[in-house]
Structure 1
């Protein structure tokens, strides 16, 4: 027979156990390991290869719809919008910021849907991952193209809410995609501000999806 103190302790453990298990299951990183930067990039690559294989059947808009969920989870598109706009972002009203982020996100996804428009035996190779001084991660990869030189792609990832997300892509290992976009956006912003840029991004998106 259990003694009184032991019995009470036993009952308390039985009552607390379900809550403890639930808390452990909900606690990020306790039961499920955090998705690492290389895994984020390789998931994106898998989705790109999938739409490339189905490219002619689903068309540009079909590729756009298939890529949207994986790109929204793999990229920090809101942060990329702020970086591409530059210092002028803080002077943009909050509701216009939201419209600009949506326009930038749609254009970014449409750009990928347009670029990856067929399959000829391509594959991706992950070469390695390194930690930068500020804690960001760089994942180095190759896009292998049969009969052609591979394309070197570097993905810069940063944590957002405890999750690793892509915030820039480097072509040939050194050419920042966001730096190119900032240079492109600067003249548009100087001519007509955020409203002009939103309209231009929407126009570009519509043009890409018509192809």
Structure 2
């Protein structure tokens, strides 16, 4: 049998050798998470009419699943009552809340008229969470403040609340009505209402 040339032997040795550990991948900063999300949101706005509301929802779903912790947001929006809900119903509520949250963004950002996003700052709260301040810049109109609260989940920064107009916590504003729905008919009542709202938003 003919001897193999040296180069293939070296290549074979390299392939069979134990692989060295890869360097740890740098985690995205809170601002980078939001800027990546806003870049996708802007692209969706530019293609809003072609995509339609369901197309926008489909584009947003994987992006929001990565940038937002929708499970934590469900727990926060429900509050102390969460611990009294059976696990199977908790999972159903997480799915319903997630679908509703994604549909809400798909419905709100339904066109493009020269808008752009700008990150205006980031600060660390006493809890260790980070608040990323952004603006939606609109031609000939006042900017809209959209601030995002991010929390570190095992080295990954993810959104746990959105502050509309800069200061109004979206989850806090839902707490009272969610409490009322739970009182009226438990988790099933809240899930049904979230499903109803999602369907309405996705009608286009």
TM-score, length basis structure 1: 0.87
1:14-58 Cα offsets, whole Å, 9 max, x none, are 99xx5462x2x1xxxx44211110011001101111111111111
Query: 1:156 and 1:187 mapped to 2: Cα distance?
Result: 25
Aligned-residue Cα RMSD (Å) equals 1.6
The residue aligned with 1:127 is 120
Residue 39 of structure 2, aligned match among 46, 59, 81: 46
The residue aligned with 2:56 is 63
For the residue of structure 2 that corresponds to 1:164, the secondary structure is: strand
Query: 2:43 and 2:177 mapped to 1: Cα distance?
Result: 30
User: Is residue 204 of structure 1 aligned with residue 186 of structure 2?
Assistant: no
Query: 2:19 and 2:149 mapped to 1: Cα distance?
Result: 37
More helix by share: 1
1:163-206 Cα offsets, whole Å, 9 max, x none, are 00000011222110111111221211111111100001011111
Query: 2:87 and 2:18 mapped to 1: Cα distance?
Result: 40
Q: Which runs of 5+ in 1 are unaligned?
A: 1-13
Query: 1:20 and 1:169 mapped to 2: Cα distance?
Result: 43
User: Is residue 143 of structure 1 aligned with residue 124 of structure 2?
Assistant: no
The residue aligned with 2:158 is 165
1:121-163 Cα offsets, whole Å, 9 max, x none, are 0000001111111111010111101111001111100011320
The residue aligned with 1:5 is none
Pairing 1:1-211 to 2, within 5 Å after superposition: 19=18, 21=20, 23=21, 25=22, 30-211=23-204
Corresponding pairs, count: 191
The residue aligned with 2:7 is none
Q: Which segments of structure 1 move beyond 6 Å, counting only runs of 4 or more?
A: none
Query: 1:20 and 1:120 mapped to 2: Cα distance?
Result: 51
Query: 1:163 and 1:146 mapped to 2: Cα distance?
Result: 34
Query: 2:87 and 2:154 mapped to 1: Cα distance?
Result: 21
Q: Which runs of 5+ in 2 are unaligned?
A: 1-12
CA gap of 1:54–1:194, structure 2 versus 1, over 3 A, is same
TM-score, length basis structure 2: 0.90
